[in-house]
Every structure is written in C-alpha cells, then in structure tokens.
Amino acid sequence: MSGLRMRTLAVAVVAGVGATLTIAVAPAEAAGTPHVRAGETVPVYSYENAVRESVWVQTTLDNDDDGVPDRVAVDIVRPREAADKRIKVPVVLEASPYYSCCGRGNESELKQYDANGTITKQPLFYDNYFVPRGYAFVAADLAGTNRSTGCEDVGGREEVLSAKAVVDWLNGRGRATYADGTPAVATRWTNGKTGMIGKSWDGSVANGVAATGVEGLETIVPISAISSWYDYQRYNGVLRAEDYPEYLHQAVSGRPESVCDATLKELDEGSDDATGNYNAYWAERDYRPDARKVHASVLIAHGLNDTNVTTAQFAQWWNRLRVPKKMWLAQQGHVDPFDIRRAQWVDTLHRWFDRYLQGLRNGIDREPAVSIETAPGTWVNERTWPASAARSVKVALGDGDGTTGTLGGRSGSGSRTWTDAPDLSEATAVAAPNTAVPGRVAFLSAPLSQPVRISGTPSVKLRVQVDKPTTELTARLVDYGTATRVNYVAAGEGITTLTTESCWGASTAADDACYRDTVENVITSDHAILTRGWQDAAHRVSLRFVTPLQPGRWYDVTVPMQATDQRLAAGHVLGLILQASDNEYSTPQSTGATIKLDLRGSSLTLPLVGRLPAPGATAPTVPAAPAATRLAPQKFQPLLP
C-alpha cells in the first residue's frame, strides 16, 4: 500500500471516532472533478464506453518527397463521460515505431482495429488503467511506421518532430483530420497537459521531444531509453554492428518498397561505418546537449545490466537534467519495471502522472529520488545518484607475479604485452584470472576486508604502445565471489514469465488489462561482470576524427566504462580484465595489433564508497568454478532498441 493510501486510511479511521479534521483539498478536487477523490485519481469513467478514434496529425516535414506534408497516425482512447461534461483531461502519450511490426511489452502486443479502422486494442495497460481515472491515452505511429506517412529516420529530425507535432496538436498549435478529411480539434477534450512514456525506442523519442522544449509536455517516463544514438550504435569509435541504422529502419518501416530509398541512403552515408566518427548525422541524434531545454519532469527506469541500451544512456542524461526527476535502477537487463516490481511500479507511475499531469500534491516529488535494486528483490531508496558518498579513487596497476597483476598500492614498474584475439569470448576472458590467457591481461585486488560500492562511471587510463595505426581496447570490471545474482544474460534478461496473470485496469472483449506475471530469474554464480567499456585507440583525441597511432610511440588512451551501481561483499575480489577487440558486444574491426601496456603510466579510476584493501605482493588466487555457475552472454546480434 502506498504512503498516500495509508495516510488516506488513517484519516478515515480518525474521522470515524469523532475527530475534527481540516484537509487541504487538491486543485482538481476543489473544482469538483469527479475522477479525483482524497488527493488521487480514481476509476469512475467507463473504459468500455470510452471514445475510440483515429486522427492524422500534419507535420512540417516531407521526407518521403511526395509533395504532401507527412502525417502521423494517432489512435486515441478517452473517457466519454468527461467529454460529455466538458471536463478536459490530460494525455498519456506513447509514440512508437513498433505498433505493427514488433509489438510492445513482454507479450509483444500490437494495435488492433475493427473493420471500419477504429482502434479496438492498444498495447500495454496504460489506456486500461488511466482512462477510467480521467486521462486520455494517445498512441502515435512515428513517421514512416504503421499508418503514418513519411520515412523513419532512426532518432533523427523526422522522428522527433513527428512526435512533437502530436504534442503541438494536443495544445491547439497543430492541424489534424479524421479519415474522412474533416478537422479534428483536440482542445475540445484535452487541457493539453501531456506526459510521454515508453520503453527503449519509444522512451528515446520521449527524450528527444523533451529536448525540443515543446510547450505542453509536462513529464516524460523514459524506460531503458536512448539519449545519444551515437552511443547506442558506437562505443567510442568502436562499431557495434554494420549497417545498423538501415537495419532498424527496415525493421519498423510501414511504407511501400522504394518509397524511402533516399532516407536509407542518408542513413547509410550519414552513419559513416567506415570511420566510426561522431559527425553532424550523430549530433542530430544526440539529445544530451539540449538537456537544458527540458522543462518536463523526468521519471527514468533502467536496468543496471542492460547490454542493449547501455547504462551511459541514462547516466549522462540524468546528470544533465535540471528538472524534478526520479529514477529506478534494477539488476535486470532490458526489462520494463512493470515486469520486475509490478505493483510498486504501477503505484509510482499513477502518483507521478497524478502529480505532474493532474496537479495533485501527493508528495511524490518530496520522496527519495532514486530507488536501486542492490541484490535480487532488495531495494534501497536514496536522495541522489551517483551515491553522495562516492569519491573518485585512482587505483594503480601493479605487476604482481608478472602474469596476474594487482589493483592498488604503488604503480608497478612492469609491463604487459598481448595480441588482439578477436574470437576471445567474455566468458573465457574473465574466467581463471590467475592463469595466462592469450589476448587478455588481468589485475586483481586483495580480498575485500569490508563491503564496497561502485556508484557512477569508472574508467581506465592505459599507457600503450601499439604496432598498428589503431586497435580496439576493451575493459571489464569483475566481482569475483560466489553470490546469488539476477541472471540477466539468460532469455528474459533477468525475469521468468509465468502462466498466471494479474490485471491492471478495466477490460473489454477486445482489450483486456491482464498480463502474465513474472518473477526474477536468479542464479548462484562465482562472479559477475560489473561494467564494461570500449574505445577505439585512434579516437582517443576526439570522436570527431581519427588520429592514427605511430608504432613505437607511447600513448595515453582512456577507456570509459558504462555507468553502474553495484555492491561487492567482504571477502570478494575486484578484477580488471583488459583485452583488445570484443566479438560479443561489438562487430570487431580487428587490426591484429600487439599492445604493450606500461603499468606505471596506467590506472583505474573508480567512483568508490569504501576502500580497497592494500594489495599484497601478488594477486590472490581466485578459484576456478564449474562452467555451469558462470554468466556467459551470447555473441552480439543487431538488436531493436
């Protein structure tokens, strides 16, 4: 039960014994709004009888070059009784490319229509839950997808502005028509206050629209979302997959063949696989520099072990935002919090929208801003992120026994040399760190004398000589020690879907609000990858251009790792594993380079709460565990965000 509901119950009990209370009335409740009671929205409107309609919103663009402004297809479910009483309601908006190709949610739901083209089923529970509570739910097909015209440009201007056009229309600044061409006027039924929500690509659109500063967008809820498409498809100059933007476009496109050939060409040429450079194409798809334009409140949810939309996406966005914000960080991979902690998430989402779309002062903005899953099923609330107690700690790399190095103490005077082994798997690279493995080097801390926490973005500075003009460099932080952990590398990325269902809202025969229950997939493993990082050495100076290395010269190359928040138990050992190219999380452009690492000029930087123990002269022995207890990912394949 939420704190708000507990306080409401307490008021009722006290009032029942004759106490006299003065209760502050929320703005909407004071105005006699029927869907607001005791400071929260309640289900009073019929979902079955709701208005279901489709409109086409006109944009200012024409990237399919047919001489007609591109139009965005918008499917709406809104409370009929509110409209009949001339009560204007706010909007929950999800703009997505997935409504006809791939589906939404754990059960991959698609939009469905009747014979007349009227929407009968919207994916997910948002309309089922929120429409009876005095919200409209609006699902927009991004330009070039499903029933919209234009061409999907994968994070670009067309995509963002097509969704922005819907917000403008909801606020009376745009034009739309019904299928028969008659005008559709949103301001007859909505007050324009809009909240955008979505997981993955959908949440990325919400970030992009918020970064335009559009008026009327009051809040966004980006779940496992992208804030920089360069960082989604490149790792500091390292190619994630060849022809990735073109693949994404073709996966979601709803246009006839050849209509969008010009856009495909622009995606191919602009993304520039040949160099991996950050250029004007990627700058258009980077929302972070415009975080200062965001005036909407932001509720972020992300998996700390998300290897699809990696954690730099939330971390760099979160740190730039200067608006009311809140965040959930779970131990899963690319998973919606609805399938991790369902009841608590629905309650949080309900209260968040009530606060920022209905104007109800329910206190959610005064609660701890960050909720973090520290171990399977264990959550803590904190004031901010990264942890306020985290300090940047520089950790030296020691020579150890000449094979396995040490973490901490004085910088070692030795060196390490290895040759790129593009077929070296992560499982092999991190296993048995006390033995020599071709293509990787390992450094270990002493066993921890007390628990420590890594909260933020680690990095490793490597002083290297390379015998080729460039090489890819990969770094991993590993927690060596047996523990019960979320099995995020398995199918489901940390959850198991059950056969039972639970229902979250009202239903019709065509659109029920019931979804299969889930539980965390938990495994006992001997180690865990805490975070990973990649860097193309020729992009060490700038991501905008290549600066080749000269054989025989020493260079400093920093490998930034993905943001994380993980706790290591006493007795565990922290490991740093270095290799060159990585065939599981990228498409290696291996040069076959041999790398020499100067230990004295290299170091690991950790955002640390607590202390690492002083190292011994040699690294501790980490027992090799059976392969069955290791978390081993599969080779990378192009993914839909």
Residues classed as catalytic: 200, 306, 334
Length of the chain: 641
Q: Cα separation of 105 and 345, whole Å?
A: 14
Structure token digits, residue 227: 């804030």
Q: Are strands 89-96 and 40-41 parallel, antiparallel or unpaired?
A: unpaired
Q: In the block, which residue shows the tokens 């959908």? A: 202
Token pair of 559 as six digits = 């490998």
In one-letter notation, the amino acid at residue 536 is D
CA distance 163 to 187: 17
Closest by CA to 227, choosing from 339, 316, 345, 128, is 316
And the tokens for 75? Answer: 């499917």
**Measured distance CA(595)–CA(415) in Å, rounded:** 10
**Paired tokens of 334:** 């690319």
In Å, what is the CA distance from 480 to each residue of 173, 211, 484? 57, 41, 12
Query: What is the Cα–Cα distance from 162 to 141, expressed in whole angstroms?
Result: 9
Q: Which amino acid is at 365?
A: D
- Report the distance separating Cα 106 and Cα 367, nearest Å: 29
CA end-to-end distance (rounded Å), the chain: 33
Give the span between the Cα atoms of 258 and 265, in whole angstroms: 11
Half-sphere exposure of residue 454: CA atoms within 13 angstroms, side-chain side: 25
Cβ(295)–Cβ(325) below 8 Å: no
Q: Is the dihedral of CA 479, 480, 481, 487 positive or negative?
A: positive
d(CA 177, CA 91): 19
Tell which phi-psi region holds residue 368, choosing left (phi > 0), alpha (psi between -120 and 50) or beta.
Answer: beta
